[in-house]
Amino acid sequence: MSELGAFLRNKRLDQNMSLDYLQEATKIQKRYLLAIENGQYEALPGAFYAKAFVKSYSEALGLDPDAVIEQYGGELPEVHHPENRRRSRMDRLQRRRKASGKSQGRPTLLPVFAGILFLGIVGFGLFLAIQGLSDSGDQSSSPGDDPGVQVESNEDPGEPPAPQENEQEEDAPAEEDEENGSQPEEVSSEGMVTTFDVSGMETLEMELTFTGESYIDTKDESGSIIDQYDGTADMDPVTLDYSDLDYVLLNIGNTSGVEITINGEAFEWPNDSIHQNIVFERME
């Protein structure tokens, strides 16, 4: 047991507080409180949590959290900022965007061919219309040029043209499909883990905006960390592009300290828990 853990445990016992009571008061799981008392900081979900959890523990006991950190902070694990990994991924994302912008800026002959085809169809239609008028004029003058002879027509000039509703109805589902394919769909929720299906999404781009302190990491299907951040309110927004992955686990330490958008649209947290794990998976 560490000096910090022994100190907190003795203070808790002096006040006849149980771990169950502290769990309710701090919203920290009992197993993490026990890990702090035993000095097993590796059992916490991240190095950032060690300092945050100790502060919450101290406040629940009526202690000055800053004084506790100042006296025993040397025992806590250091928080490492993966600047190199962050720069590498951001550089890769910027290169991908530049390449995409170049490909979009290249001229294409498709509009030219489409214009030529359109003019050809219009010209052919005019030709048929002129031929039809010519034939109609010949037939109307054939009954002896008698003005009393009337040519009957099967068409009713007063009948309005049939409404073209089918085309609009066919276009609507396509627009709805595009909208439905831009956001993840929740498929399950178990404990702290909520799973979303992103099979219909070609792009999976997240932007993290920190409004307070929050630890965040992302992991692949094998559990290896892809990115991790110890976010603060003074940080610039962070953009993460996982379009080329079929599985991403997003581990958020403090949902009240960060806001997330996915493909440019605000993402709402699945529940009210402070600590959440969210899986984005292509299931098809």
Which tokens sit at 257? 């300290």
For the segment 34-92, what is each residue's pLDDT rounded down to a tens digit? 999 999 999 998 878 889 999 999 999 999 999 999 999 888 887 665 554 555 566 66
- Mean pLDDT, range 151-179, rounded to an integer: 51
Q: How confident is the model at residue 136 (pLDDT cuts 50, 70, 90)?
A: low
pLDDT computed for residue 138 by the predictor: 55
Q: For residue 47, what is the enclosing H or E element?
A: helix 47-60
User: CB neighbours (10 Å) of residue 230?
Assistant: 20
Which tokens sit at 104? 């979009």
Indicate whether this model's pTM tops 0.85. Answer: no
The residue among 80 and 115 whose pLDDT is bigger is 115
Q: How far apart (Å, rounded) are the C-alpha atoms in residues 189 and 196?
A: 9
CA–CA distances in Å: residue 185 to residues 123, 180, 251, 267: 49, 9, 18, 11
Strands 265-267, 238-241: pairing is unpaired
